Each structure stands twice: as C-alpha cells, then as structure tokens.
Amino acid sequence: MHQPLTGKVAFVNGGSRGIGAAVVRRLARGGATVVFSYQSSGAAANALARDIRDAGGAAFAVQADASDARALTLAIDDVAERFGRLDILVNSAGVFLTGTLDDFSIADFDKTVAVNVRAVFVAAKAAAAHMRDGGRIINISSANADRMPFAGGAAYAMSKSALTGLVRGLARDLGGRGITVNNVLPGPTDTDMNPAGTDFAASLHGLMALPRHGTPDEIAALAAWVAGPEASFVTGADLSVDGGFAA
C-alpha cells in the first residue's frame, strides 16, 4: 500500500468521532503516527486508537478541551516532545449551535467563537512552534462559510468564514518555511451532528448539485491529500468538498 505520510507525526484536534475520526483513520492509513484529542468521548476515542493499532497503524488518544487554550497547547507540546517532531495539524473540533438573533445567547456565541475560531488559532500557534519546514495545517471548516441558506445559523457561519481570513494570513506568516495552511469546506456530511436521514437533511439536498449527504471518508480523503506531498503548492485556500452546495 502506498503510504505517502510514512514518518510523519500528526495531531488532530477533535478526532474521536465524525469527520475527525475519519481523518485520524485516513492519516494513519497513509503511514502517519496520529495523536488526536477528545473532550468527553473517551471510550470512543480509545476504541478508535486501539482499532488503528490492531490494524498495524499508530494512533493515540489524549483528553484536551479545545476551548481551553492551555490544555490544547500542552497536548500539542507533549506530542512534539514525545515523538521529537510534529508535521501535520488538523483542526476538526467544532460546535454547531443555532438560533435566531433574538434567542441566541451570548454564552453560545462565545462558545462558538472559542471552539470554532480561537482554538484553531491556539492550535496553529502551538503547532507551528514545533513544525519543521514543509509542515501542514488543515482546518475542517464548512460550506456554510460561503452559504447559509437557513435561519438560525449566523454565528456558526460567521465562525467558519472567519477561518478564511485566518488561513490567508497564516499562509503568509508561514509560507517562508514551506508550511501550508488551508481550509477544507465540507458540505452536508452524514455525522451525528448532521445525520442524513432527517427532514432537515432532505431540505439541504434540494440545494445541492449532488442531492445527498457526503460521508466522513469523502471529507477525510481531501484532508489527507492536503496533508501529503502532492499538495505542497496549495496554501491559503478554501477547498470545497460539498456536493455542489455552493455551486
């Protein structure tokens, strides 16, 4: 099996379930040693790591709350110290809190920003301090960064569109070291956050060129490509994998 990530060490911020778990599996299958964080899904996280190791890969789960800057930084520092390097960062942790302007609380707004934006900056800052030239920083954003077709998603859409500006700036900051920084923008994807078999899902399919939910593996495939050597000239980009949601 071709393993373009052999010898690489990756940290996935939020990798115990959904898209994050698919990214962990795909990076490990590509040959990387993958450490991934979880907040509360310890059983699922440890089962995922064990399954990957049983299949011959290298994966390890660590507890770290993405909204806790100190805990997240320490987790990344520990990975770099343990393995002597850090090559890939994937920011997959996220919250999807909705509500119209008159009923969306300031606490939910602050949580949205803390997890979906601030944690991405914190993790990138911590990881870049350890990365060698040619590293990769990849954020799992959302097609809602470009299109919000239903009421109640303003704060979520704002948090994801903020990542567009962030990666463009970070791509300039880190380009001299050959470190690329990109967003992957999934469209509707079949996870426990947005399951495919609901009336809400069906309403989204009517907005798409391909009228179905994507799978976590389809999103992970693009993230793994961006993490690999063939994507060395791609940086500062929003890369859509959305079934034509934004077409």
Task: Tell me the CATH number at 71.
Answer: 3.40.50.720
- From the candidates 11, 38, 156, 225, which is the catalytic residue? 156
Residue 2's pLDDT band, with cuts at 50, 70 and 90, is confident
> 35, 91 in Cβ contact below 8 A?
no
Total count of domains within the chain: 1
Q: Is residue 247 part of a domain?
A: no
Task: Give the H/E segment covering residue 81.
Answer: helix 69-83
Does residue 112 sit within a domain? yes
41 belongs to a structural domain: yes
Q: What is the pTM of this model?
A: 0.97
| Overall average pLDDT of the 2-8 stretch | 95
> What local confidence, expressed as pLDDT, does residue 190 receive?
97
Residue 1 counted as domain residue: no
- The answer as to whether 149 is a domain residue is yes
101, 154 Cβ separation under 8 angstroms: yes
> Within a domain: residue 207?
yes
In a domain, 191, yes or no: yes
Domain region containing 24: 9-241
Q: Which residues contact 149 (CB under 8 A, 6 or more apart)?
A: 204, 207
Closest CA to 57 of 93, 127, 6, 131: 6
Q: Is the pLDDT of residue 122 over 80?
A: yes
Residue 156 is among the residues annotated as catalytic for this protein: yes
